[in-house]
Amino acid sequence: MKLPVLEDLESRFRVASSCVGLVGCLCVCYAVWTPYWFMKRGLWTVMNVTVRAPADEDVLFKAQESEKVFGVLASLMALSSAALCLIFALCWTSRTVHSYSNTRSLLMSGTTLYPTTLLLLTLAPTGFFFLLSWSLFTSQHREEIQQNPLGLGSSYWLGMFGWVILLVVQPALFLVEQCMVPDPLPDLMRSILYGQLPSEQQPTSRSYSNASEPCYSKKTTHSTPRRVVSLA
């Protein structure tokens, strides 16, 4: 782990996306696990909501349970996405892709890992699940919020800030990167073709040359006939 290296435009966008995603994930985790949504009560606080009809009680119970489930799911995804953001921000460089053991086979098939694309695929569902929980809470307490909007706490506002970052700011940053940063795949393919292929051919040429050399035994024994002369 080291400080982020901003050596090119791609690295700057990768670090920016990682930092933005990390802030959004922290806001989501804070909102889910703190009780400062409305009047110092949160998702885990049992709140009395006025029910107009007895049939709406079952619907209200399911809505309260759903917002908790979506909140827990969003927080778990936020923790894993935050770890991924730290990896791409602190441990990833533009030369990391060359360290794959199967780099050549992946590149020749037109496949490579784009960090910002992977961040978008993990952060967008995180923000979506939290938006569901946030929307259910808002719809259930709409009348109370309209009567006392100052009762909304830091968890509610930071939660809204978190899903806006994950669902609006992060995709916008990704689109800007797609317009400004060229695709690195052709350069990686050229570097693999012209950089690794000659070195890969050297053992083959040596093996052919070794195969063409004649083989001689280390020790050769020559048997010469001996003539026996008898003196009569």
Listing DSSP states for 88-135 in one string gives IIII--TTGGGG-TTHHHHHHTT----HHHHHHHHHHHHHHHHHHHHH
Share of the chain above pLDDT 90, in %: 34
Higher pLDDT, 96 or 99: 96
Domain count within the chain: 1
**Calculated CA dihedral for residues 191, 194, 199, 200, nearest 10 degrees:** 90
Give the domain extent around 152. Answer: 9-50+58-94+110-180
**Nearest Cα to 96, choosing from 115, 69, 120, 110?**
115
Tell me, what CATH number does 128's domain have? Answer: 1.20.140
Higher pLDDT, 151 or 63: 151
CB 131 within 8 A of CB 163: yes
**Nearest Cα to 141, choosing from 73, 72, 39?**
39
Domain membership flag for residue 4: no
CA distances (Å), 35 to each of 43, 44, 150, 159, 164, in order?
A: 7, 7, 16, 12, 20
Tokens encoding 10: 């791609």
Domain membership flag for residue 199: no
Distance CA 44, CA 33 (A): 8
pLDDT tens per residue across span 130-144:
999 999 999 888 888
Domain membership flag for residue 132: yes
pLDDT of res. 174: 93
DSSP 87: I
CB 32 within 8 A of CB 43: yes
Domain membership flag for residue 69: yes
pLDDT tens per residue across span 154-181:
999 999 999 999 999 999 999 998 888 7
**Nearest Cα to 85, choosing from 56, 122, 48?**
122
Domain membership flag for residue 87: yes
Domain membership flag for residue 193: no
pTM: 0.71
Distance CA 184, CA 19 (A): 22
**Nearest Cα to 93, choosing from 197, 184, 217?**
184
